Amino acid sequence: MATDSPPQSEVPELEKLAQAVDDALAQVMAMDEASRNRALALKGAIEEFHKAGLTRIIQLVRESPQGAELLRRLAQEPTVYALFTLHGLVRTDLRMRVSQVLEQVRPYLRSHGGDVTLVDIRQGRVLVRLSGACQSCSLSTATLKNAVEEALRQRVPEVQSVEAVNDPPQELLSLEVPDWAQHGWRPGPRVEELPPDEPTAFAVDQESVLLLRRADRVLAFRNRCPHQQLPLEGGRFDPESGRLSCPWHCYQFELDSGRCVTDPGLALEMVPARIEEGVVWIRPG
């Protein structure tokens, strides 16, 4: 029976090809400035030449009655999809790309005692919620503008502005436990119920979330591989490399960032998670 799914043997081969490119580029970057600039100029010229040819191929394929279906099948091939992504001929989901950038700036925010959560994206406006020290400190605006907005503008051109949406302030010295559910958070399992370094699926609001306990942290992702939207539960996690392998086609993901190692054009969709009194709270929203 014919299938649109690429054989698993293609994935390791793609990894070898991608690694060869990374190794060659690393050697170029180690050259003296003049040689490096010439090599990068050659690389850019070749890529523009290839992009022009690929763009024309796509235009001609689309003119065929079966063009749309053929392009869909081509995009399901890991090597072809990686090639299209390299030349900017396909784009990943906007929310996914914004989430990736927020994960990259989150360590900086946490170093200032704060955190950031993606609330919504509306016509180029990214709404975020600052929490922790960043919400009330005098540097909250500078933190937002200099870290979050600058990073998003550089890496996600569709973003026009970033706005902070703060929760109503709570009374000082309040001893009541905040009602996280009012802010979209849902209770999950207790931390001790999650096996260390073992991906575990958990259903919340009729959606499956993949949880992974690493030391005193719990990471959460949508339980679907961005390659073909298949569930990730049952995948193998390597604690040393910090990578998760999809059980279907062996795509590998760095869990600290969600980045796909096999295909840089893909990424896991992260879900906000926090631990309160030993319970994992998830915000699927």
CATH topology of domain 185-282: Rieske Iron-sulfur Protein (2.102.10)
pLDDT in tens, 12-52: 576 778 778 878 888 888 889 889 889 888 988 898 899 88
Amino acid at 4: D
| Residue 176 in this model has a pLDDT that exceeds 50 | no
Residue 200 CB-density burial (10 A; 0-12 exposed, 13-18 middle, 19+ buried): middle
Domains 94-167 and 185-282 share a fold: no
Average pLDDT over the chain reads: 78
Domain spans in the chain, listed from the N-terminal domain onward: 10-86, 94-167, 185-282
Strands (E), 170-278: 186-190, 200-204, 207-214, 217-222, 236-238, 243-245, 252-254, 273-276
pLDDT in tens, 111-169: 777 778 888 888 778 888 877 655 445 455 555 556 788 888 877 877 888 888 765 44
Cα 189 vs. chain centroid, distance in angstroms?
Answer: 24
Cα 115 vs. chain centroid, distance in angstroms?
Answer: 17
CATH (one of 3.30.70.580, 3.40.50.300, 3.30.300.130, 3.40.50.1580) for 94-167: 3.30.300.130
Of 258 and 167, which is predicted with more confidence?
Answer: 258
